[in-house]
């Protein structure tokens, strides 16, 4: 009497308990008995249809013969557990399509997982209380043990270039160090997943419980993460403008941050933000970068960047400065030409902001979602400062696809001369004034001004360069196992696309090879918050999940400003 009447086709189920519901194949098991079989971390709670089963079901049940690829089961944890509110096996649906994208089965090859599908909407509204969002505090009270939480440990780099684990709450306050010549600070890069983009790409989050995807549930979790990690500088991507205006900005200001924001151009409702603690820094300049150019057909995308010049407080040198840049490059794996051009525009802005009076650059940190994987041509260009792109296919620039579809070769040069940026990624001509209105006329640079950057006309060359010697905070692979680190994980893939790059000091033992000849002074990497593997993340049902409310992990590093 406690179960509602079942649909007729469910009543006709045989011993394999297989049904088609709303065009999706699901196997639902629900029983008042004390034990059942569940697939850890991979079942959604929606649309479970009550089926009476015997008390010895868990001992007698067998796999349906056509349940799906055996490889999918080899990577999963099967175990008996106490009866849960709903138990649902989610089966592949090869007819599933995504709007404006290639078939899911093709993109899922990257992650080594099979495609899954789900009903478009929940038809069972009986669990209305479960759908209602809980605050972080309520969640902590209801799930006090936080069973689905994965601990991320802190890796500290000592002088011998070894790592050691330290307590989550570090006891020493490094901001008040006794040595006035040092200045320690932390930087976070975090793609917080715009709610608008989440809803437009719902096919990426079929593995998630519906209630976990509401902004009213997600934002308290994200804010709690920011509070706990307590970074001195935040570089946030996919910050939705209306959420920023109504709650994000005020919430961060109440935590002691000053916020600078650049919204994407066109109709895109999100953007990039850099927030810094006013107790640690003061703002020298804020420089937004728009990658859309109406007069250049190549640059027809609405991505943006933001470059701040900050002055540290409590430092012995009055003119010390740190350049912080944040960006979110184009996603499209087939348009490596646009990605490289957007990156060149960001580097050119940094090159115009970061020079000091003696001609050298101040320390630089570049954060963001670069939509490129480690080892790709774009990644190597950032790290090595040079790239010969002759004969390079545009689909291979970012390395996002194992079998790239964009086979067109990059043109030489990639961007037109009218962009005003040389192959060395600096402005060929300098703007006399910087106003908010786009399309402002450019004025030829005066040769007697040492601040201005003037580059002579170059012959057609397929070699890109930039002037910064940059290292990556993360090594992208776990040294003990060689397993890749992951910064984003959803229904389609689990890869690294988020980075923190920095200009390493000469004595920085954590810097990768190639950064040792960096200019005098710079940043020393003191520590970082360790990343996770794809396997780790799927133990808590990937991202987003109950405790991590973005499909990206926050990156966090601690630096020391080294005197020149």
Strands (E), 110-228: 154-157, 163-166, 183-191
- For β-strands 183-191 and 87-90, DSSP reports them as unpaired
Domain count, the chain: 1
The CA distance from 259 to 253, in Å, is: 7
Asked, for residue 431, whether it belongs to a domain, the answer is no
Are 265 and 292 contacting, i.e. CB atoms less than 8 angstroms apart? yes
Write out the two tokens for 42.
């991979």
The reply to whether 298 falls in a domain is yes
Cα-based torsion angle of the residue sequence 456, 460, 462, 464 in order, rounded to the nearest 10 degrees? 10
Domain-embedded: residue 324: yes
Lookup: tokens for 501: 């790059």
> What is the Cα–Cα distance from 564 to 561, expressed in whole angstroms?
9
Domain contains 222: yes
Asked whether residue 60 is assigned to any structural domain, the reply reads: no
- The residue segments making up the domain with residue 499 are 155-160+180-426+461-562
Strand partners, 281: 312
Structural domain contains residue 300: yes
410 domain residue, yes or no: yes
> Can you say how many angstroms the Cα of residue 474 is from the centroid of all Cα atoms in its chain?
14
548: domain CATH number is 3.60.10.10
Q: Walk along the chain (564 residues) and give the pLDDT tens digit of each residue.
A: 444 455 544 444 443 443 344 444 433 334 343 333 334 444 344 433 344 434 444 344 444 444 444 444 444 444 434 333 333 333 333 333 333 344 343 343 344 444 433 333 333 333 333 333 333 334 443 443 455 788 999 999 954 334 333 333 444 444 444 444 689 999 999 999 999 999 999 999 999 999 999 999 999 999 999 999 999 999 999 999 999 999 999 999 999 999 999 999 999 999 999 999 999 999 999 999 999 999 999 999 999 999 999 999 986 666 789 999 999 999 999 999 999 999 999 999 999 999 998 889 999 999 999 999 999 999 999 999 999 999 999 999 999 998 887 689 999 999 999 999 999 999 997 543 334 444 554 444 444 554 444 444 445 799 999 999 999 999 999 999 999 999 999 999 999 999 999 999 887 777 765 444 334 469 999 999 999 999 999 999 999 999 999 999 999 999 999 876
d(CA 290, CA 305): 7
- Residue 451 has, within 13 A of its CA and on its CB side, a CA count of 8
How many residues are given for the chain?
564
Exposed / middle / buried, residue 449 (Cβ in 10 Å: 0-12, 13-18, 19+): exposed
Residue 97: inside a domain: no
Angle at 233 between CA 228 and CA 237, to 5 degrees: 90
Buried b (16+ CB within 10 A) or exposed e, 531-542: bbbbebbbebbb
Cβ(522)–Cβ(363) below 8 Å: yes
Here the tokens at position 495 are 């890869």
* H or E stretch covering 557: strand 555-562
Strands (E), 34-101: 35-39, 78-82, 87-90
| Euclidean distance between CA atoms 363 and 497, whole angstroms | 23
């Amino acid at each position: 009497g406690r179960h509602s009447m079942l649909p007729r086709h469910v009543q006709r189920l045989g011993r394999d308990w297989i049904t088609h519901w709303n065009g999706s194949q699901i196997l639902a098991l629900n029983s008042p008995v004390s034990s059942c079989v569940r697939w850890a971390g991979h079942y959604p709670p929606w649309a479970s249809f009550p089926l009476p089963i015997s008390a010895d079901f868990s001992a007698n049940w067998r796999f349906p013969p056509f349940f799906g690829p055996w490889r999918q089961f080899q990577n999963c944890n099967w175990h008996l557990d106490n009866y849960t509110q709903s138990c649902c096996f989610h089966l592949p649906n090869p007819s599933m399509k995504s709007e404006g994208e290639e078939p899911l089965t093709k993109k899922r090859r990257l992650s080594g997982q099979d495609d899954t599908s789900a009903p478009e909407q929940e038809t069972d509204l009986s669990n209305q209380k479960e759908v209602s969002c809980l605050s972080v505090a309520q969640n902590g009270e209801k799930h006090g043990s936080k069973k689905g939480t994965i601990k991320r440990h802190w890796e500290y780099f000592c002088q011998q270039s070894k790592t050691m684990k330290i307590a989550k709450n570090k006891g020493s306050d490094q901001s008040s160090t006794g040595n006035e010549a040092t200045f320690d600070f932390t930087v976070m890069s975090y793609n917080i997943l715009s709610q608008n983009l989440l809803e437009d790409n719902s096919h990426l989050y079929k593995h998630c419980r519906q209630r976990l995807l509401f902004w009213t549930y997600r934002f308290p979790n994200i804010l709690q993460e920011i509070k706990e990690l307590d970074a001195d500088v935040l570089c946030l991507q996919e910050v939705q403008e209306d959420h920023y205006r109504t709650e994000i900005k005020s919430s961060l200001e109440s935590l002691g941050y000053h916020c600078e924001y650049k919204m994407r151009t066109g109709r895109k409702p999100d953007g990039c933000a850099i927030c810094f603690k006013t107790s640690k820094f003061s703002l020298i300049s804020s420089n937004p970068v728009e990658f859309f150019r109406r007069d250049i057909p190549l640059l027809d995308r609405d991505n943006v960047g933001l470059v701040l010049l900050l002055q540290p407080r409590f430092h012995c040198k009055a003119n010390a400065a740190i350049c912080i840049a944040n960006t979110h490059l184009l996603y499209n794996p087939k348009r490596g030409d646009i990605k490289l051009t957007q990156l060149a525009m960001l580097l050119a802005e940094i090159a115009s902001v970061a020079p000091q009076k003696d001609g050298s650059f101040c320390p630089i940190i570049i954060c963001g979602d670069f939509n490129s994987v480690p080892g790709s041509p774009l990644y190597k260009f950032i790290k090595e400062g040079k790239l010969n792109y002759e004969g390079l296919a545009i689909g291979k620039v970012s390395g996002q696809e194992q079998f790239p579809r964009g086979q067109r070769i990059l043109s030489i040069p990639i961007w037109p001369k009218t962009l005003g940026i040389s192959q060395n990624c600096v402005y060929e001509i300098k703007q006399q004034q910087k106003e908010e209105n786009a399309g402002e006329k450019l004025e030829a640079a005066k040769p007697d001004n040492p601040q201005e950057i003037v580059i002579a006309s170059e012959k057609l060359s397929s070699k890109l360069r930039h002037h910064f010697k940059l290292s990556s905070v993360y090594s992208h692979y776990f040294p003990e196992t060689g397993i890749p680190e992951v910064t984003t994980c959803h229904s389609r893939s689990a890869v690294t696309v988020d980075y923190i790059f920095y200009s390493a000091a000469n004595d920085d033992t954590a810097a990768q090879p190639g950064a040792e000849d960096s200019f005098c002074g710079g940043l020393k990497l003191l520590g970082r918050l360790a990343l996770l593997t794809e396997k780790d993340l799927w133990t808590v049902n990937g991202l987003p999940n109950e405790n991590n409310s973005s499909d990206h992990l926050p990156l966090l590093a601690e630096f020391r400003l080294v005197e020149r």
